[in-house]
Amino acid sequence: MANSLTFDPSSGTPVAINLTINSGADFVNDFTVRTTAGTAFDFSGAGTTWTGSSQMAKSVSIGSSSYAAATFNVGFTSAAGGKFRISLGSTQTRSLSEGRYVYDVLVSSGSTVWTIVDGNIIVKSGVSSAP
């Protein structure tokens, strides 16, 4: 799946995007980031090295504790074009229990860290299984 988002670093607010994972299947989601002017957000400008990180945790009630249920692989598929991907393999998704989770994606360069996107993830387990 692919999602486009407009990110304004000065706002300090991530863009909310909800996702769905099918348990036992590979999960891949591509993001295209644009500036408020509508151009590609350049993650490669001025010799800057950007990295990304992302985790998901079971959604819990206020006052409860939670832990990272999965850590996504994050990679820039076109840093100059503002494109990155988060993914989990089928082995990782198979270990997730059905339900509602929350996630976020952080991008960083040096001491600059932005939570660029966050939201809910619904994990669905399959009704049928392969023979």
Predicted local confidence at residue 31, as pLDDT: 97
Q: Copy the structure tokens of residue 107.
A: 């991008």
Residues lower than pLDDT 50 in the chain: none
Q: How many distinct structural domains can be found in the chain? A: 1
Asked whether the beta carbons of 50 and 76 are under 8 A apart, the reply is yes
Residue 90 CA from chain centroid, whole number: 17
Answer whether residue 130 is part of any domain.
no
Answer whether residue 103 is part of any domain.
yes
CA atoms within 13 A of residue 35's CA, in its CB half-sphere: 9
Predicted local confidence at residue 100, as pLDDT: 92
Domain assignment of residue 33, given as a range: 2-124
| Rounded Cα gap, residues 30 and 77, in angstroms | 9
Answer whether residue 129 is part of any domain.
no
Answer whether residue 75 is part of any domain.
yes
CATH of the domain at 106: 2.60.40
Answer whether residue 131 is part of any domain.
no
Answer whether residue 46 is part of any domain.
yes
| Rounded Cα gap, residues 4 and 117, in angstroms | 11
